Amino acid sequence: NAGVMQNPRHLVRRRGQEARLRCSPMKGHSHVYWYRQLPEEGLKFMVYLQKENIIDESGMPKERFSAEFPKEGPSILRIQQVVRGDSAAYFCASSPQGGNQPQHFGDGTRLSIL
């Protein structure tokens, strides 16, 4: 499967725990974007990364959320000390270049906080 790969598909955490969401972009894509979709809401941009660089994190909450895209391995979205309001679907997208290119999405990770 050459598409955007996200794992896990479903993640359950208790309040206060940490959640780690992983995303491997499509082959040949070096630009990764994370979006969050709350129930009955549209997707909201969170962060845009290239290898080893955060380009735009204007959509990320200031606390508890962080993202990285290391030289080797997948991009990671990390949520510390999760709260009930973090329950959402988190989608990763990738594109071969930045700019106006369409983005291709992974299946998403559905995070549930107990």
Positions touching other proteins (CB under 8 A) are 33, 35, 41-45, 48, 55-56, 58-59, 89, 91, 93, 98-100, 102-108, 110
- What does the alpha-carbon distance between residue 3 and residue 72 come to, in Å, rounded to a whole number? 18
For the bound state, the minimum distance from the C-beta of residue 111 to other proteins, rounded and expressed in Å, comes to 13
**Residue 81 CB, nearest distance to other proteins (Å)?**
27
d(CA 107, CA 31): 17
* Distance between CA atoms of residues 83 and 51, nearest Å: 29
| C-beta of 28 vs 42, nearer to other proteins | 42
**Closer residue to other proteins in complex, CB, 1/58:** 58
How many helices (H) and strands (E) would you count in the chain?
0, 11
